[in-house]
A and B are shown apart, each in its own frame.
Chain A
Amino acid sequence: MSRNPATAGSRRGIAVLTVLVALGMAVGLGAIFFWAPAANCLVPGNPGQPCVDARPDVIQHIFYVHVPVAWVAYLAFGVVLLGSVVYLKSGKRRWDNLAASSAEIGVLFTGLTLLSGMLWGRPRWGTWWTWDETLTLTFVLFLIYVGYLLFRSMASDPTRGARVAAVIGIVGFVDVPLVHFSMVWWRTLHPAEVVLNPAGPQLPTSELVTMLWMLGVITALYVLLMLLRMRLGRAADTLAELEAAGDEAPAEPAARVGTP
Chain B
Amino acid sequence: MSNVRKMLVVTAKDLRSEARAKEIAPPMVLFGLILVFLFTLNFPPGAGRAPVPGPVIGAVGSRELAGAFLWVSLLFAGILGFGRNAAVEREANRIEGLLLAPVDPAALFAGKALANFCYLWALEVVLFPVFIVLFDVPAHLLLPGVLPVALAANVGLAAAGTLFGAASQYVRARELVLPLLLFPIVLPLVLGAERLTASLLTGGGLGPQARWFILMGAFDLAISAIGAVAFEFVVNE
For B180, B185, B237, the residue with the greatest tally of chain A CB atoms inside 10 Å of its CB is: B185
Indicate if the CB atoms of B172 and A179 lie closer than 8 Å. Answer: no
Which residues of A lie under 8 Å from residue B223 when comparing CB positions? Answer: 171
**How far is A170 from B226 in the complex, measured between Cα atoms in Å?**
8
Give the number of chain B interface residues (Cβ < 8 Å). Answer: 33
A160 at the interface (CB under 8 A from B): yes
Indicate if the CB atoms of B212 and A185 lie closer than 8 Å. Answer: yes
Which residues of A lie under 8 Å from residue B160 when comparing CB positions? Answer: 171
**How far is A46 from B225 in the complex, measured between Cα atoms in Å?**
45
Question: Closest CB of chain B to A134's CB: distance in Å?
Answer: 15
Residue of A nearest to B64 (CB): A189
A237 at the interface (CB under 8 A from B): no
Which residues of A lie under 8 Å from residue B177 when comparing CB positions? Answer: 147, 150-151, 154
Residue of A nearest to B191 (CB): A182
Which residues of A lie under 8 Å from residue B226 when comparing CB positions? Answer: 167, 170-171, 174
Residue of A nearest to B233 (CB): A163
B59 at the interface (CB under 8 A from A): yes
Indicate if the CB atoms of A178 and B218 lie closer than 8 Å. Answer: yes
A36 at the interface (CB under 8 A from B): no
Which residues of B lie under 8 Å from residue A181 when comparing CB positions? Answer: 188, 215
A119 at the interface (CB under 8 A from B): no
Indicate if the CB atoms of B215 and A178 lie closer than 8 Å. Answer: yes
Which residues of A lie under 8 Å from residue B185 when comparing CB positions? Answer: 144, 171-172, 175
Indicate if the CB atoms of A88 and B219 lie closer than 8 Å. Answer: no
B41 at the interface (CB under 8 A from A): no
A50 at the interface (CB under 8 A from B): no
A190 at the interface (CB under 8 A from B): yes
A157 at the interface (CB under 8 A from B): yes
Which residues of B lie under 8 Å from residue A164 when comparing CB positions? Answer: 167, 170, 233-234
**How far is A166 from B231 in the complex, measured between Cα atoms in Å?**
12
Residue of A nearest to B190 (CB): A182
Which residues of B lie under 8 Å from residue A172 when comparing CB positions? Answer: 185
A220 at the interface (CB under 8 A from B): no
Instruction: Name the contact of B172 in the complex, choosing from A144, A156, A170, A182 (C-beta under 8 A).
Output: A156
**How far is A88 from B234 in the complex, measured between Cα atoms in Å?**
11
**How far is A175 from B181 in the complex, measured between Cα atoms in Å?**
12
Interface residues of A in 140-185 (CB under 8 A from B): 140, 143-144, 147-148, 150-151, 154-157, 160-161, 163-164, 166-168, 170-172, 174-175, 178-179, 181-182, 185
Instruction: Name the contact of B219 in the complex, choosing from A178, A189, A190 (C-beta under 8 A).
Output: A178
Instruction: Name the contact of A167 in the complex, choosing from B163, B184, B211 (C-beta under 8 A).
Output: B163
Question: Closest CB of chain A to B214's CB: distance in Å?
Answer: 9
A186 at the interface (CB under 8 A from B): yes
Indicate if the CB atoms of A154 and B230 lie closer than 8 Å. Answer: no
Which residues of B lie under 8 Å from residue A166 when comparing CB positions? Answer: 233
Question: Closest CB of chain A to B14's CB: distance in Å?
Answer: 21
Interface residues of A in 60-112 (CB under 8 A from B): 88
**How far is A144 from B182 in the complex, measured between Cα atoms in Å?**
9
Question: Closest CB of chain A to B152's CB: distance in Å?
Answer: 13
Which residues of B lie under 8 Å from residue A156 when comparing CB positions? Answer: 170-172
Contact bitstring B181-204, A, C-beta under 8 A = 1, else 0 = 101110110011001000000000
Indicate if the CB atoms of B167 and A182 lie closer than 8 Å. Answer: no
**How far is A186 from B233 in the complex, measured between Cα atoms in Å?**
35
Which residues of A lie under 8 Å from residue B191 when comparing CB positions? Answer: 182, 186
Q: What 8 A-B pairs come out closest when comparing CB atoms?
A: A182-B188, A154-B171, A143-B184, A178-B188, A167-B230, A163-B233, A164-B167, A147-B180
23 residue pairs from A and B, CB less than 8 Å apart: A88-B233, A140-B187, A144-B185, A147-B184, A151-B177, A154-B172, A154-B173, A156-B170, A161-B171, A163-B233, A163-B234, A164-B234, A167-B167, A170-B230, A171-B226, A171-B230, A175-B184, A178-B218, A178-B222, A179-B187, A182-B187, A182-B188, A185-B212
Apart from the given pairs A166-B233, A182-B192, 8 other A-B contacts in the complex at a CB distance below 8 Å: A147-B184, A151-B168, A160-B237, A163-B233, A174-B226, A175-B184, A178-B218, A186-B195
